[in-house]
Amino acid sequence: MADKSGADPAVDVEQQLIFLMGDLGGLQNVMGAFRIKVYHTRAFPWDDVFKLLLYRDFKIDVTRHKADIYIEARP
């Protein structure tokens, strides 16, 4: 498959994450890496988010800070 010329894959992933999560999570993008704060653990689309990131070869860590759960993904 051919890449779209001039397309930044991180921007595409960011838009897809925003669409998938809706108001169930918050997203920070730092130089192509993502930090996702999970707002609603039971309703959060875990499988869709993990599939999107893993299929794009992101390394994923799930961490907890006090009562908050974060997904950290690096290319």
What is the sign, positive or negative, of the torsion defined by CA atoms of 49, 53, 54, 56? positive
Question: pTM here?
Answer: 0.82
Q: Which domain holds residue 44?
A: 9-74
Predicted confidence (pLDDT) at residue 6 exceeds the cutoff of 70:
no
Predicted confidence (pLDDT) at residue 1 exceeds the cutoff of 50:
no
In a domain, 42, yes or no: yes
Number of domains comprising the chain: 1
Q: What is the pLDDT of residue 32?
A: 84
| Count of CA atoms in the C-beta half-sphere (13 A) of 66 | 1
In a domain, 17, yes or no: yes
In a domain, 1, yes or no: no
In a domain, 49, yes or no: yes
pLDDT tens-digit profile of 12-61? 899 999 999 999 999 999 998 999 999 999 999 999 999 999 999 999 99
